[in-house]
Chain A
């Protein structure tokens, strides 16, 4: 199906590693981009392509993909990482340019 599925909520203990997953058929063809969104602020691009980080994004953020599942890993989560995270993929059906997953709310405990 042309949808991206994310867990609605995930929690992590401060300083530990957390993996946020995204699943969808389009991920077999395209690596997703990942965005962080905090309340009242515009989303921020964290990862694009195979595992590329824009300038200014900490290296504790990394991406990986296998089959129909992609993951965003935060190694050593910080308090400021508490936010919503969205994956986004090109649409392999051509009906639209891209589409987003439902988002994962990350709580840092």
Chain B
């Protein structure tokens, strides 16, 4: 069974930066595509970004393009989301998830609050 353990997040200032990490355990020998999805309290789910198993292909929502960077270190089974130029509207619980087109395992979530 795949387990995803997240770290990072917390309070960030508008214009500031934060980084999220997500470490996977229980993976088979292959490195699956991975994604970040966020949930704004009181609102729905929003897909944020995805990365292929090799890391060569990355995808971003328009709302974060140019500000967020997804990356991975397969030697450490770890996924990252570097969040720069933070905005108040980035406030959300961020989940890492296994997969690109559908998500069959999720991390526990990391609260990111952007406020001055």
Q: With the chains together, A54 CA to B1 CA distance in Å?
A: 12
- Bitwise, B1-37 to A at CB < 8 A (1) or not (0) is 0000000000000000000000000000000000101
What's the tally of chain B residues with a CB closer than 8 Å to chain A?
Answer: 22
**Binding site of A, secondary structure by majority: helix, strand, loop or mixed?**
strand
What's the tally of chain A residues with a CB closer than 8 Å to chain B?
Answer: 23
Q: With the chains together, A45 CA to B100 CA distance in Å?
A: 13
- The interface residues of chain A lying within 8 Å CB-to-CB of B45 are 35, 37, 43, 86, 88, 100, 103
- The interface residues of chain B lying within 8 Å CB-to-CB of A48 are 102, 104
**Pair A42/B108 contact, Cβ less than 8 Å:** yes
Q: Which residue of B lies closest to A43 (CB)?
A: B106
Can you offer 29 A-B residue contacts whose CB atoms are under 8 A? A33-B102, A35-B103, A42-B106, A43-B45, A43-B95, A43-B103, A45-B102, A45-B104, A48-B102, A48-B104, A49-B102, A86-B45, A88-B45, A88-B47, A88-B102, A88-B103, A90-B101, A96-B47, A96-B59, A97-B47, A97-B50, A98-B35, A98-B50, A98-B100, A100-B37, A100-B47, A102-B44, A103-B44, A103-B45
